[in-house]
Amino acid sequence: MGELKRIMHVEDDPSIQAVARVALEVVGGFEVLTCTSGQEALDKVQAFAPDFILLDVMMPGIDGAETLERLRKLVDLTDIPVAFMTAKVQPEEVAYYHSLGASDVIIKPFSPMQLASQVRNIWSKHHDR
């Protein structure tokens, strides 16, 4: 297991992108690549080689679930935790995200001061299993 440095954040909402970038770069000290769509994530994932992927569920075009499925065909996600970010967190919805292979779910709206530590916790759990 390497070190958690690079995070790919896939999110179509510019205000959420901005808050997450500050939360992860300034508070967390990570290098962040923001992708505004699932397609952009697919185009950039190999070159960026993320250590962690934050994936919005509801996006125009390719949604989070479809993006995750397609990412799996491009890169080995065994050592790359993927967390969905969503406001839809009913137990059956969370179970569905886990069934897709997500390591965890981060609830929107998220706390900018807590996001980096949430990501670190998911990373640790993923690599401890």
Q: List, for residues 70-124, the tens digit of each pLDDT value.
A: 999 999 999 999 999 999 899 999 999 999 999 999 999 999 999 999 999 999 9
The pTM of the full predicted model, rounded to 2 decimals, is 0.96
**Hey, which bits of 52-117 come out as E strands?**
52-56, 82-86, 104-107
- Averaged pLDDT, 66-70: 97
Q: List, for residues 10-49, the tens digit of each pLDDT value.
A: 999 999 999 999 999 999 999 999 999 999 999 999 999 9
Residue length of the chain: 129
- Residue 84 in 3-state DSSP? strand
Q: In what order do the strands lie in the sheet with 52-56?
A: 31-35, 6-10, 52-56, 82-86, 104-107
Tell me the CATH number of domain 6-128, given options 3.40.50.2300, 3.40.50.720, 3.40.50.1100, 3.40.50.2000.
Answer: 3.40.50.2300
